[in-house]
Amino acid sequence: MSHERRPSFLAEHVDRLAGTHLRDLLKDAARGKRLRHRLGPILLDLSRQKLDLEALDALGAHVEASGWQAARDAMFAGAPINTSENRAVLHTALRASGSSLPSPAPQDALKEIQQTLTRIDALVKAVELGDATAFGVAPGITDIVNIGIGGSDLGPRLAVRALTPYHVPGLRSHFLTNVDGQSAYELMHQLDPRRTLVIVVSKTFTTQETLLNGNVMRDWISRAYNGDKAAVSRHFLAVSANVAEVEKWGVPAAQVYPMWDFVGGRFSLWSAVGLSLALSIGSYNFHELLRGAALVDDHFRTAPWSENLPVLLSLVEYWNRNAQGRGSRAVVPYADLLTDLTSYLQQLEMESLGKQVTPQGQPVAQSTSAVVWGSVGTNAQHAYFQALHQGTDVVPLEFIGVVKPAHDLSANHDALLSNLLAQAAALALGKTLDEALAEATSGTEEERRVLAAQRTFPGDRPSTVMMLDALTPESLGALIALYEQKVFMLGHLWGINAFDQWGVELGKAIARQILPSLEEGGAGHASSFDSATQALIDVIHERRIA
Ligand code: F6P
C-alpha cells in the first residue's frame, strides 16, 4: 500500500503501537470492556486487534465527524443512495416486520414487501401440507432446485446449509449455479423430473448462466411430460424483477415472486430470493431469520459508535486496511454448517467495496476492499495456517464459533472450540526465540539456535472472534446483517457507492463477443480478438476435433 493513502490522523497511533506487541496489549484486561460486546446471540470480541483505546478513540472521532448517522438514516428511509443507478437501498425494509422500531422506509415499499411475505408464507405452508396446486405447483414435490448465481444463489445456499438442523422433513434442496454443465448433468441423473420444483432466481432475468441452466432443466422436465407445456410450468417458480421476460420464458405471472430495484442482489436473501430457504426451514424459521437481522438493524440505528457492533467492525477493518495496510482478511468459521459463509462474504464485501472511484468520479483517497478468503476450521489449520503464523505477511483473521452445537458429540465440539481459541491466542501471543530455545534441549548451541529460529512465532497477528450462542435462524440472520451493515459503513468511510457493481460488466460483454466463435460452426479463426484470446480460441478448436 502506498504511504500517502494512510490516513494521517492514524499515523501517530500506528507508530506508537509499532513497538507494542499484542501480548502486551492483552495484559490490560480493561481493554476487553471497550472491545468485547454482546448483541443478542452474538458476542463480538475485538480485543485481539492491534489497537489500543487511544487509537480506537481516534477512529471513533473520525467516524463521528463523518456524518455516519445521517448516511445510515438516509439508507433506512429509502433515499436514492445508489447514485450510479439512481436507486434506493432498502434491504433493511425486507426485515422491518421483525423490528421493534417503526420503519422509515416508504409505505408503498413496505406494503409490497408485506404482501410478498404473506404469499411466501402461504406457499410454504401449502408445500409443507403436500398440496400447493393452488400456487401452480405440481403435487408430490420432493426436491427443490434453486437456479441462480451471485446474490441469487449465495445467500440461500449459505442459509439452507447453515440451518440444516431446521430442515422440514421430506424436502431436499439443491443449488444449480455455474454454467459448467456438469452440475446440471449430475442433478438430472439424481432427481425425478416429476417430483422436482425448479425456482429460477434472477433479478434481471438476463443472466447467461441462470438462463442456460433454466433451459436445460426445462427441457429435462419437458421430456418427462412429452412436451406438455402446462404440465412443465407446474414445476417452475421464478423470482425476478423482470416479470415480462419470465413470462416469455414460460413461467406464468402468478408463479413469479417479485424482486425490486431497491434491493441489490447480494442483499436479497430476506426477499423472495430466500424462497428456497423458506421452503427448506418453514415460515416460522424464515421469520426468525428476519427477526435476527432486524435486531442488528435496530441496534445499528440506535447505538452510539462505541457500542455499535457494525460500526466497530468497520472501524477495525478501516484500521487494518488503511492504517496497517493489510491487503486481505481470512474468515474462518469453526462450523461445517457455515462452510458457505466465506464465499457469501466474498460477494457481499468485494462486490460492494471493490471500487476505486467515488460517486463523483474522483479517485478514492485510500485503499478499498481487502481480499476476503478463508474456509472452515479446523481443516484450515492443516492447510494454510502455517503461512498465517510464520509467513512474512500479516493477515487479519475472523474466527466464528458456535457455543452450543446442534448435535450431542460433545467431545468433538470441545475439541473444535479449543482449536478456535488456541489459534486466536497463538496468532496474538506467538512464541519468542527464548521460549523456543528453552524447548530445544538437544544438540550443540548452534544447532539449538538454528532450530529455535525456525520454531519461533512472531505473534502480534490480529484477529476477531465472533461467538454465536447457537447456530439458529435468529443468530444467522443477525450475523449476516452485521456484515451487511459493516459493508454499508465501510462504503461510507471510503466514500464509495457500495451498492452498484459495474466491475462485473466488461467480462460479460467480452464473453458475449467470444461465444459465437466457440459455438459449433463458429468463426473460430476470425482474428477479431487480442492475440492471447485468439490463440486460446484456436487451441480449443484444434483440440476438440483432435
Ligand atoms: O454479475 C454480477 C451480478 O449482477 C450480481 O450482482 C448478482 O447478484 C448476480 O450477477 C446475479 O444477477 P441476477 O439475479 O440478475 O441473475
Helix (H, G, I), strand (E, B) or coil at 279: helix
Backbone φ and ψ of 463, nearest 5°: -150, 160
Q: Are 462 and 49 in contact (CB under 8 A)?
A: yes
pLDDT digits (tens, 9 = 90+) for 320-341: 999 999 999 999 999 999 999 9
Kindly report the number of other CB atoms within 10 A of residue 127's CB atom.
21
- In this prediction, residue 523 has a pLDDT band, given cuts at 50, 70 and 90, of low
Distance CA 82, CA 499 (A): 6
Has residue 1 got a pLDDT over 60?
no
Q: Rounded to the nearest whole angstrom, what is the distance from the C-alpha of residue 543 to the centroid of ligand 1? A: 33
Identify the weakest region by mean pLDDT among 25-39, 184-198, 316-330: 25-39
Residue 167 makes CB contacts below 8 A (sequence gap 6+) with 160, 173, 280, 281
- State the amino acid at position 481 in one-letter form: A
Cell numbers describing residue 27:
495484559
Nearest-CA residue for ligand 1 atom 5 is 150
Has residue 4 got a pLDDT over 70?
no
Of the candidates 27, 189, 382, 407, the residue annotated as catalytic is 382
pLDDT digits (tens, 9 = 90+) for 446-475: 999 999 999 999 999 999 999 999 999 999
**Ligand 1 pocket residue status of 214, Cβ below 6 Å:** no
- In this prediction, residue 2 has a pLDDT band, given cuts at 50, 70 and 90, of very low
* 62 catalytic residue (yes or no): no
**Ligand 1 pocket residue status of 266, Cβ below 6 Å:** yes
Q: Rounded to the nearest whole angstrom, what is the distance from the C-alpha of residue 150 to the centroid of ligand 1? A: 5
pLDDT digits (tens, 9 = 90+) for 384-405: 999 999 999 999 999 999 999 9
Length of the chain: 546
Distance CA 372, CA 335 (A): 18
Residue 451 makes CB contacts below 8 A (sequence gap 6+) with 436, 440, 443
Q: Are 48 and 463 in contact (CB under 8 A)?
A: yes
**Ligand 1 pocket residue status of 150, Cβ below 6 Å:** yes
**Ligand 1 pocket residue status of 151, Cβ below 6 Å:** yes
* 508 catalytic residue (yes or no): yes
Distance CA 75, CA 112 (A): 18
One DSSP character per residue, 431-450 reads: B-HHHHHHH--SS-HHHHHH
- State the amino acid at position 268 in one-letter form: S
**Ligand 1 pocket residue status of 504, Cβ below 6 Å:** yes
Nearest-CA residue for ligand 1 atom 3 is 150
Has residue 524 got a pLDDT over 90?
no
Backbone φ and ψ of 480, nearest 5°: -65, -40
Closest ligand 1 atom, residue 209 Cα: 16
Backbone φ and ψ of 381, nearest 5°: -60, -30
ipTM, two decimals, is: 0.98
Q: Rounded to the nearest whole angstrom, what is the distance from the C-alpha of residue 427 to the centroid of ligand 1? A: 37
Can you give the pLDDT at residue 544? 87
pLDDT digits (tens, 9 = 90+) for 117-161: 999 999 999 999 989 999 999 999 999 999 999 999 999 999 999
Q: What are the C-alpha distances in Å from 321 to residues 3, 311, 328, 356, 491?
A: 12, 15, 8, 14, 13
